[in-house]
Structure 1
Amino acid sequence: MQVGDKIVFDRYQWRILDIKNNAALIITEDIIEQRAYHDVYKDTTWADCELRKYLNGEFYDKFTVTNRSRIIPVINKNSNNPWYGTNGGEDTEDRIFLLDIEDMVCRYFGDSSANLHNRGKNQKYWFQRKDKNNIKRSATFKDGLWWWWLRAPGRHNVRAVYVHGDGNIGIQGNNIFRCNISLFHYLGDNKGGVRPALWLKL
C-alpha cells in the first residue's frame, strides 16, 4: 500500500492519505451521505456534535466485527479556527472522524498553507477560488459535485468549516443545523456531505 492508493474496506472505497507505524489514514473516496453537523442550532464543537456521535456509534457499528478490530482509536486535537479564533473544543478520542483544516490545506490535498496563514484584507469567507489544489479537494455525491464537512468550527460555534463543491475552503463555516443554500449543484437535500476518515491497522 502507498499514499494515494485506493482500497476497498468494508462497504466503501477509500483513499490512503498517510501511512505510519503499520497503520494507514484513509478517507472515503466519495461523499457517502448527507447529514447535518448537529441536531439543534446552538454553540457546538466537534466533541459534542451529533455527527461525531453518529460516526462513532451507529456508523461504526455497521462495520463487521473483524473490520472494527482494525480501526484504531486516536486522540484528535481540535484547534481553534485560525482566521476567527473560534473555540475548537476539547481533544477527542475517535475511531471515525472528519478531517480538520490543517489536514485539508497543509498535509493531504496539496500545500495551500500560504492561503491559510496569509489572509487577504478583503477575505472573509473563502480561500482562493483559483487555488491550484482546489480540484484535489472536490468530491461527488450521487454523480454530482457537493460540499462536505470538516470538524473545525467556523466563524461562530453555530457554524462548521466545509469544503465547497469546487474544492474551495468555506472557512467561515456553514450552519450546523439548517445548512445554508449551496450554489453548487443543488441535489434536493442541502445537508453537508460526509467523508469519514479513520486509521486502519495494516
Structure 2
Amino acid sequence: MNEKYVPYRGYDAPYIFVSYAHKDGNKASEVIEKLQMEQYRVWYDEGIDPGTEWDENIAEHIENCEYFIALLSREYLVSSNCKDELNFARELEKPRLLIYLEDIQLPGGMRMRLSRLQAIHKYKYQSMELFFEKLAETQGLEKCHEKQKQEKTIIIESTEVVQETPRITIPRQGYPYPVKSGDTVYLGKALPGFFLAEGEDLAWRVLNCEDRKAVLLCENVLLNMPYHAVQHGSSDWENCTLRKWLNNDFYEQVFSDSEKEYILWRAHPSRNNPKYRTPGGADTIDPVFLLDVIELTVYGFEQITEIARNNGNISWWLRNPGFSQNFAMNFGWRVHYGGLQVDEPAVGVRPAIVIQTR
C-alpha cells in the first residue's frame, strides 16, 4: 500500500472494512486509496503485528464496521482467512458489497450464499473513474458515506468549560520538551503504598506521538488494586472503583497543577470483549485510563510486552470486560481474554494518559 494512505485507526466513527487477499495487494490498493482520496474512512489489515491475536483483531474490526467490502479474485477464493472474514460479516449481518477484481466463477455454495448481495465487476470498467462512479452509487456505500459525513469530531478549541462535560478543557500549554514515540518522560510523583519509593518520579513510555498528542503508558506497575472493590461484584469500566480512583485520588495527588495543564481529557471507547462478546458498557471521558486489548496492538504490542517484561510480567488490568462482567481482562506476558474476577486484589495497575505536546 502507498505509505501516504494508512488504515483508519479507531472505532468511534463509521468506517468501511475492506477484505482482500494479500497477493492482490496492488489491485486492492487501487480501490482502497481511491476510497480514502474521496474521504471514506477505510480499515484494512495492513500493519497488524502478526505475532499475537490476529483473529481477535480482525473480528473486532468487522464487528464494529459500518460496511464490509470484499475484493473477490482467484486468490481470495483460495484464502481461508478471506473466506472466514466474509462468513463472519455474513453472520453479523453486516451490509456487504462484492467487488470482482477479475472474471471468476464462484463455487456453487458460495454463489448461493452471495447471490443476493450487491456486486460490481471492476474488471469490466475501462477506467478507475467510471468504476468509482458506479461504486459511489451503491446504496449501502452511499448510506455509509452519509453517516461518515454526519459524524462530527469533537474538538475543544478553548479553555471554556463544555456544558455537557464541565471538567473537560484543553491544556493551555503543551509538554515543555520535545517527545517522540519510544521516549521515556517523567511526570508525577509516587504516592505512599506504591511499589516505588514515595516521591519518586514516575516514568512513562511514549507509545505514540502525532498531531501534537502523545499517548503515554506508565513503565511501572504502580500497585495492586481490584478492578471493582465490591466482593463478588460485577462492573464495566465506566462504573468500576478503579476508574474512579484513577481519575480522582490518583490524578489529583500524583500530578502537580502545572503537569495537569498538558494532560488531556480524552474520550475512551468501552469495547466489548473480542472473544466472549461481553458488553463493554458506555464510553468514558477521562484524563487517566487503562489500555484496552485493541490499543495493545495499535500502540505497539511488542513495545508493551517489553515494558511488561521489565516488570517481571506482573499481571495488570485492561479496561475490557472478561468472559462476563464479573471478570475484567488482564495482561502479563500475554492477553488473558477470560480475565480475573473484578474484586481480585492482587492484580497490578499500569495507568495511561495522553498529553498535549508543543
Give the whole-Å Cα distance in 2 for the aligned partners of 1:44 and 1:134.
Answer: 26
Give the whole-Å Cα distance in 2 for the aligned partners of 1:145 and 1:98.
Answer: 17
Give the whole-Å Cα distance in 2 for the aligned partners of 1:106 and 1:91.
Answer: 18
Give the whole-Å Cα distance in 2 for the aligned partners of 1:199 and 1:163.
Answer: 21
1:138 matched to 2:138? The reply is: no
1:17 matched to 2:202? The reply is: no
TM-score (norm 1): 0.76
Which structure 1 residue ranges, 4+ long, deviate > 6 Å from structure 2?
A: none
Q: Which is helix-richer, 1 or 2?
A: 2
State the superposition RMSD in angstroms.
Answer: 1.7
Q: Which is strand-richer, 1 or 2?
A: 1
One of 285, 295, 318 as aligned partner of 1:150: 318
In structure 1, the gaps of 5 or more residues are: 111-132, 180-189
Matched AA of 2:246 = L
Give the whole-Å Cα distance in 1 for the aligned partners of 2:260 and 2:299.
Answer: 26
Look up the match of 1:80: 272
One of 162, 185, 189 as aligned partner of 2:330: 162
Correspondences of 1:190-201 after superposition (within 5 Å)? 191-201=346-356
1:50 matched to 2:241? The reply is: yes
Please tell me whether the aligned partners of residues 228 and 234 of structure 2 are also in contact (alpha carbons under 8 angstroms).
no
Question: Could you tell me the percent identity over the aligned residues?
Answer: 30
Matched AA of 1:171 = Y
1:105 matched to 2:297? The reply is: yes
Q: Deviations over 1:78-136 (max 9, x none)?
A: 110011110100010111000000011343224xxxxxxxxxxxxxxxxxxxxxx8843
Q: CA deviation at 1:140?
A: 5.2
Bigger mean CA deviation after superposition, 9-18 or 49-58 = 9-18
Q: Secondary structure at the match of 1:199?
A: strand
Q: Secondary structure at the match of 2:301?
A: coil
1:69 matched to 2:69? The reply is: no
Q: CA deviation at 1:43?
A: 2.3
Tell which structure's C-alpha radius of gyration is larger.
Answer: 2
TM-score (norm 2): 0.44
Please tell me whether the aligned partners of residues 43 and 158 of structure 1 are also in contact (alpha carbons under 8 angstroms).
yes
Look up the match of 1:93: 285
Give the whole-Å Cα distance in 1 for the aligned partners of 2:210 and 2:304.
Answer: 26
Q: CA deviation at 1:139?
A: 4.5
